[in-house]
Amino acid sequence: MTGKSRRGFASMDPARQKEIASKGGRAAHEKGTAHEWSSDEARNAGRKGGVTVSQDREHMAAIGREGGESRSAAARHARQQQSSDREVAITVSRDGMGESVRNGSRPSVRSRDDALLADGA
């Protein structure tokens, strides 16, 4: 044996633990002994938890680092998406007629200035 007991609540399947705990919660509410949090109590408990967690500087640094990496990755992806949206290949034939080729799109109509530039004017 590995030294761990195969008895008790902690050794049970998590689904079975949840089922038993849920029954206990329902019974306490029916009996009237369950604690129901007021909004002030909940607010104070949340504040206390936040204060406690934020004292672990290593944990907070890891959270900040993860957020920064996520944000920079999202910004990098957006920049790459923008640049790929702007890239348009233009082919010019010998007669100076240009056509835009992008994702199988149809050739676009050239402006007068584009035609003049292509013709060498």
* Domain coordinates in residue numbering, the chain: 39-87, 89-119
- Spatial distance between the Cα atoms of 69 and 72, rounded to a whole number of angstroms: 5
**Global pTM value:** 0.34
Helices (H), the chain: 14-31, 39-54, 57-86, 112-119
Q: Which pLDDT score is estimated for 36? A: 87
Q: Distance (Å, rounded) from C-alpha 25 to C-alpha 33?
A: 10
Question: Considering only 11-20, 70-79, 82-91, which range has the smallest mean pLDDT?
Answer: 82-91
Give pLDDT, residue 119.
60
CA gap 24, 55 in Å, rounded: 34
CA 102 vs CA 16, 31, 64, 113, 118: distances in Å: 58, 70, 40, 21, 19
